[in-house]
A and B are shown apart, each in its own frame.
Chain A
Amino acid sequence: MTTSEVMLPESLTRYAEALLAGSDLPLAEAIRITTGERDPRDSTDLIAHGILDGYLAAARYQPGATA
């Protein structure tokens, strides 16, 4: 999935932008991290690590997930 394919609902976009307001991480980068296009381990950005860990936890524990 590429960044351009990811369409967020407006409520989540606003939420994500508010969260990222205190970070150097733009929303598109956050999405790239969560879709695996960018490796957050190269980044020292705490928010990048947080987003990825949340995404990975979801993949691990979501019912029916294989991760």
Chain B
Amino acid sequence: MSAFDLGLRLAAHHTGRVVPRAIHRLQPQPLGPVVVYLAADKRRTVATSATTSQQIPGDDTARLFLALYAAGFDPECVLPPTLVVLNRAALGDLDRAARDAADHRDPRVRGAAALIGGYTCASAEHPGSSGVVVALDAARARWATGEGPAVEQTLATWIRWLRLPAQPVAALFALTAKVLDGAAMPFEAVVHGNDRARHRAVCNNFGTGRDWRKRDSRMAAALGLASREHAAELYDAGLLTDPIYAAAAIHDGTVTAAVATGMSKTGNLTVATFASRLPVCRLREGKQVEVIAGETTALPLSALHRVVGTVTDVSVASDGTVMVSVRVPRPRDSAAQPVQVGSRYLIGPQRPDSQMQARSRQTLASRYGAKGCWLTGTAQPKRIDREVPLDVIVRAAAHED
């Protein structure tokens, strides 16, 4: 909840129309078939279009997974399917059903259950994945209504504000189409590649007859954690390339909007100083940042307008102005300046390198697979005591809340 958010909501209320929170689509385009799953009144519905659906009694798990298999949840299928669910509770319900169906005698039922449990539910833990659309979450991430946040937890609110069809299945298909409208975020191709790899791994695993419900090995759990963390990093970085999300991030201090006030040269490096009037800033000494020329309204910008640097100092002047110093490399062209004094800049976290992420996962896999690794081996790790930086303690305390 933020003041920026209230401004969006008041605008939506005054105009009677939804207000976008992002001009980009935050959900990647589907790679395979789009299937809607809805559970209501002790019945489950699997739909492949607004007019093609199967109604299944709530206790008939086999029929449910046969319907999903026919809709595209087939381990023999190359294309990863996209499942649309109303909320995370619906996904949890489907995950429980998949675990029940994993021992069914029909391989089609077992195959669809393996894909739901191993791919779709894991996709929900990878922000920005194309594997699942949690409709209410996706709508709230993309638009603000002129209501309080609690009211946005129902499909009826979005039917009203987005003028969707009243029938729930048709509404979910229409909502998905709206969610998928707009320009792609910067890392969509990377997300698609990662989704394909996870989908392939689940299908191959099913082919070997391995039980997907078995608890992950320590190595698989650690690599899965890295995969989720990398997906979250890409998603967060992608959000900051959107002008509306970036404008909101200025108010929580993730991005600092400032004017360049000076530059000094130290050897091959230049230290640029910026002044921000808004006294909210999360930048700390040593943080890797991107300095982007212009204002949020000019986003997204090409790489030509960005320079990567390291924060060397953050201080608050007596009049409340936040002063940020950033060390940036000097351009090869000695006549060019990395920063123009007097111009406006956005300073935000450095975006992740997706190739570095992939390499780091490969490195982790080879390290965890090596003999003698304390994480995957049987030996107990030795206890080592050392000082913990204050920042880490403060962040840990914040997570405790």
Contact = CB atoms under 8 A, between A and B. Distances in A.
Contacts of A59: 11
Contacts of B7: 34, 50-58
Nearest to A23: B3
Contact of B12 (A49, A51, A58): A58
Contact of A61 (B9, B151, B244): B244
B244 A12 contact: no
Contact of A49 (B3, B5, B20): B3
Contacts of B167: none
Nearest to A50: B3
Interface in B53-97: none
Given A49-B251, A50-B2, A53-B4, A9 B146 contact: yes
Interface of B is mostly: helix
Interface string A38-63: 00000010111111111111111111
Contact of B14 (A1, A11, A64): A1
B13 A55 contact: no
B244 A57 contact: yes
A62 B10 contact: no
Contact of B243 (A1, A30, A31, A61): A61
Interface string B1-36: 111111111111111011110010000000000000
Interface string A18-34: 11000000000011001
Contacts of B279: 46
A46 B151 CA distance: 26
A56 B165 CA distance: 30
A56 B279 CA distance: 20
B252 to A, nearest CB: 9
A39 B279 CA distance: 19
Interface centre among A8, A11, A52 (most CB of B within 10 A): A11
Contacts of A35: 14
A61 B3 contact: no
Contact of A11 (B17, B147, B250): B147
Contacts of A48: 3
Given A15-B9, A15-B149, A58-B8, A53 B17 contact: no
A53 B15 CA distance: 17
B4 A54 contact: yes
B204 to A, nearest CB: 43
21 contacts: A1-B14, A11-B148, A12-B146, A15-B150, A16-B9, A16-B10, A19-B6, A30-B6, A34-B11, A46-B279, A49-B3, A49-B251, A53-B4, A54-B10, A54-B248, A57-B243, A58-B7, A58-B11, A62-B11, A62-B20, A64-B17
Ranked nearest first, the 9 interchain pairs of A and B with the lowest CB-CB distance are: A54-B7, A50-B3, A58-B11, A11-B148, A15-B148, A54-B4, A55-B7, A58-B19, A51-B7
Interface of A: 1, 6, 8-9, 11-12, 14-16, 18-19, 30-31, 34-35, 44, 46-65
